């Protein structure tokens, strides 16, 4: 027997042999058949061959959001309810205030204030003050004086404009006591200054910052001194007129503005016969035209302020025309939210000297003084100010200036015999370093002080006569109780020199000039006020605590220790 696989192999071999034999013995047969067979025309493929890749689609899997629920809990904190005080009416404001007192050596004081109350549209006020002294200074001529002043003011405020008007009258009587003769006749050395003036100002100030705004004003002042007892002496008459205006326009972040000013001052020296003296000038009229255009811009989120401009002055001074040009530049940068503010100022310009302004500095001057205008060629200030804490503020700076025709006071020996002062003018460079500090703790305590050191480089004189080298001013206020407060003022000055004319009375001689060093000024004043009620109080003032008879001017000592007391009343 044989297996199944052997059987299949033998069967395949037999069939293969049978097929070969059939092919070998077969005959060839040809068939011819008639028919119609169409053949399609050939054509060229217009498409280029390309690879077609098979893209297997896939199903997008979605992840539905699960709805989760969390249990939350919160607790309410209690807040103390605010208290609102209902006021039926505002506290009373009294329009009037009176201050009356008397000091040692019979020194009466009277002062009255009267003003409007709680009026936004119309604001007005009046102030009247009188102070006089009937005392004397041991070893010197009679030194009595009196001062009276009256000021009136009113302002009308509207939405688009405001109008301001002011008027004043001043009268000051004194004696030229700068010599050692206690029995000198009072009338022969008496002097009185008086002036009357008024001002008017109109300002347009629309709330829209892109609107053109302007202000225009007028000032007038008439001043004079007393007719002298002797025909050989002079007295002065002066008329002052000032027309001024300012215009400004805000363009994006820039503010374009310009100041225009026309100043006229007429100063007449009148001799004892009533005639005007023109020996010191061709004409008594001094005319100044000033134009000061500038541009102010802000940057760095208003932290940086830049002001750039010029100060142009045209001066017709006693018949001589001169043009003065000075810069007007200001840079400020706020750091750390106004904690520190460094700044730079470069300024200059022409300052008009008048008989009134010089008599306000030194009331013992002659009536026939020469007048020259002070030209500040450049005045540069570099400093930093800011706050050290919530209660302390400071300011420190260094200044340098070039000044021409700076007014200095020197003792006169030609017209007065040495008890009055004349005015000389000097070109100089002035440098100073100044620091100030203010401390305030609520309304209970406030202290402020300013200290300055000066350096002068003069051209013709060996010293800047009567100008200090060191000056310290300090003030303090302390509220001891709700109805008791005290106040302290201090003024310290040193390094002053006066011009003298003999070597015997001088401390220094240089270039045929004689200089006398004036003493150090230590002026301390202490005051206290006790509030008896909201309308009535009492005050006590101690002046010149150091009892120092320092000389503010050469041969002019001040009064010593003084005490003044009085009351105040509101009505």
* DSSP string across 449-469: EEEEEEEEEESSSSS-TT--S
**pLDDT grade for 229, boundaries at 50, 70 and 90:** low
CA distance 328 to 376: 12
Q: What pLDDT is stored for residue 169 in this prediction?
A: 98
**pLDDT grade for 230, boundaries at 50, 70 and 90:** low
Using DSSP bridges, classify how beta strands 470-481 and 484-494 pair: parallel, antiparallel or unpaired. Answer: antiparallel
Helix (H, G, I), strand (E, B) or coil at 188: helix
CA distance 341 to 335: 6
Beta bridge partners of 365: 421
Q: Which residue has the tokens 């010191």?
A: 280
Which phi and psi angles does 112 have, rounded to 5°?
-135, 130
Q: What pLDDT is stored for residue 259 in this prediction?
A: 96
Q: What pLDDT is stored for residue 417 in this prediction?
A: 77
**Neighbouring C-beta atoms of residue 200, cutoff 10 Å:** 14
More confident residue, 280 or 361: 361
233-290 per-position pLDDT tens digit = 788 999 999 999 999 998 878 899 999 999 999 998 887 666 776 665 556 789 999 9
Q: What pLDDT is stored for residue 113 in this prediction?
A: 97
Beta bridge partners of 473: 450, 491
**Neighbouring C-beta atoms of residue 493, cutoff 10 Å:** 21
Q: What pLDDT is stored for residue 302 in this prediction?
A: 87
Using DSSP bridges, classify how beta strands 508-510 and 513-517 pair: parallel, antiparallel or unpaired. Answer: antiparallel
- Ramachandran region, residue 315 (left: φ > 0; alpha: ψ -120 to 50; beta: rest): beta
- Ramachandran region, residue 466 (left: φ > 0; alpha: ψ -120 to 50; beta: rest): left
CB 430, CB 452: distance < 8 Å: no
396-407 per-position pLDDT tens digit = 999 999 999 999
- Which of 9-13, 16-20, 153-157, 334-338 is least confident? 16-20
Q: What pLDDT is stored for residue 105 in this prediction?
A: 82
Q: How far is CA 149 from CA 126, 152, 167, 176, in A?
A: 11, 10, 11, 21
Query: If we measure between CA atoms, which residue out of 106, 204, 107 comes closest to residue 162?
Result: 204
Beta bridge partners of 203: 162, 215
CB 224, CB 234: distance < 8 Å: no
23 pLDDT above the threshold of 50:
no
Q: What pLDDT is stored for residue 30 in this prediction?
A: 52
Six-digit token string for 172: 């000051």
65 pLDDT above the threshold of 60:
no
DSSP-assigned letter for residue 274: S
Six-digit token string for 252: 């994006």
Overall residue count recorded for the chain in this entry: 571
Percentage of residues in the chain having pLDDT higher than 90: 63
More confident residue, 12 or 441: 441
CB 249, CB 213: distance < 8 Å: yes
Percentage of residues in the chain having pLDDT higher than 70: 82
Helix (H, G, I), strand (E, B) or coil at 508: strand
CA distance 10 to 4: 10
70-106 per-position pLDDT tens digit = 566 667 677 777 776 655 667 778 999 999 999 998 8
* Overall average pLDDT of the 16-21 stretch: 57
26 pLDDT above the threshold of 50:
no
Mean pLDDT (the chain) is 86
196-210 per-position pLDDT tens digit = 999 999 999 876 656
CA distance 381 to 346: 7
**pLDDT grade for 25, boundaries at 50, 70 and 90:** very low
More confident residue, 308 or 44: 308
More confident residue, 150 or 56: 150
62 pLDDT above the threshold of 80:
no
31 pLDDT above the threshold of 70:
no
Beta bridge partners of 103: 107, 564
**pLDDT grade for 22, boundaries at 50, 70 and 90:** very low
């Amino acid at each position: 027997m044989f297996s199944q696989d052997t059987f299949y192999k033998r069967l395949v071999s037999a069939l293969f042999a049978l097929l070969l034999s059939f092919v070998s013995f077969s005959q060839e047969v040809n068939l011819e058949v008639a028919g119609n067979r169409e053949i399609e025309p050939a054509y060229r493929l217009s498409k280029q061959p390309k690879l077609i890749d098979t893209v297997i689609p896939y199903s997008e899997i979605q992840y539905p959001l699960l709805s989760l629920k969390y249990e939350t809990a919160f607790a309410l904190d209690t807040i103390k309810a605010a208290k609102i005080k209902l006021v039926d009416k505002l506290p009373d404001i009294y329009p009037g205030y009176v201050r009356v007192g008397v000091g040692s050596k019979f020194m009466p004081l009277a002062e009255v204030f009267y003003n409007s109350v709680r009026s936004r549209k119309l604001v007005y006020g009046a102030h009247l003050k009188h102070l006089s002294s009937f005392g004397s200074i041991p070893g010197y001529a009679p030194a009595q004086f009196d001062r009276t002043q009256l000021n009136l003011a009113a302002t009308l405020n509207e939405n688009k404009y405001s109008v301001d008007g002011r008027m004043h009258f001043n009268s000051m009587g004194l004696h030229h006591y700068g010599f050692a003769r206690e029995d000198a006749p009072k009338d022969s050395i008496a002097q009185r200054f008086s002036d009357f003036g008024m001002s008017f100002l109109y300002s347009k100030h629309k709330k829209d910052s892109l609107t053109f705004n302007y202000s225009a004003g007028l000032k007038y002042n008439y001043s004079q001194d007393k007719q002298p007892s002797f025909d050989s002496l002079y007295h002065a008459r002066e008329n002052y007129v000032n027309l001024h205006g300012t215009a400004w326009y805000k363009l994006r972040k820039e503010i374009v503005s310009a100041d225009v000013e026309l100043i006229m001052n007429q100063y007449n020296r009148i001799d004892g016969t009533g005639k005007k003296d023109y020996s010191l000038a061709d004409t008594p009229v001094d005319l100044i035209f000033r134009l000061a255009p500038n541009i102010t811009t802000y940057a760095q989120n208003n932290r940086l302020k830049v002001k750039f401009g010029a100060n142009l002055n045209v001066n017709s001074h006693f018949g001589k025309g001169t043009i003065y040009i000075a810069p007007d530049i200001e840079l400020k940068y706020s750091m750390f939210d106004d904690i520190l503010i460094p700044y730079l100022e470069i300024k200059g310009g022409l300052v008009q000297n008048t008989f009134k302004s010089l008599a306000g500095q030194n009331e013992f001057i002659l009536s026939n003084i020469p007048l020259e205008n002070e030209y500040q060629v450049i005045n540069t200030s570099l400093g930093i100010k800011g706050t050290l804490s919530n209660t302390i503020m400071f300011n420190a700076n260094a200044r340098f200036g070039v000044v021409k025709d700076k007014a200095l006071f020197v003792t006169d020996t030609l017209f007065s015999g040495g008890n009055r002062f004349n005015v000389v003018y000097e070109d100089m460079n002035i440098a100073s370093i100044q620091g100030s500090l203010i401390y305030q703790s609520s309304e209970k305590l406030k202290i402020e002080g300013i200290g300055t050191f000066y350096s002068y480089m003069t051209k013709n004189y060996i010293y800047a006569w009567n100008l200090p080298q060191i000056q310290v001013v300090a003030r303090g206020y302390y509220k001891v109780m709700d109805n008791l407060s005290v106040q302290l003022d201090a003024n310290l000055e040193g390094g002053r020199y006066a011009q003298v004319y003999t070597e015997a009375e001088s401390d220094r001689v240089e270039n045929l000039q004689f200089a006398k060093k004036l003493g150090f000024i230590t002026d301390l004043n202490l005051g206290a006020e006790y509030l008896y009620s909201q309308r009535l109080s009492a005050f006590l003032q101690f002046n010149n605590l150091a009892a120092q008879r320092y000389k503010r001017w050469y041969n002019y000592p001040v009064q010593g220790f003084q005490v003044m007391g009085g009351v105040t009343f509101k009505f």
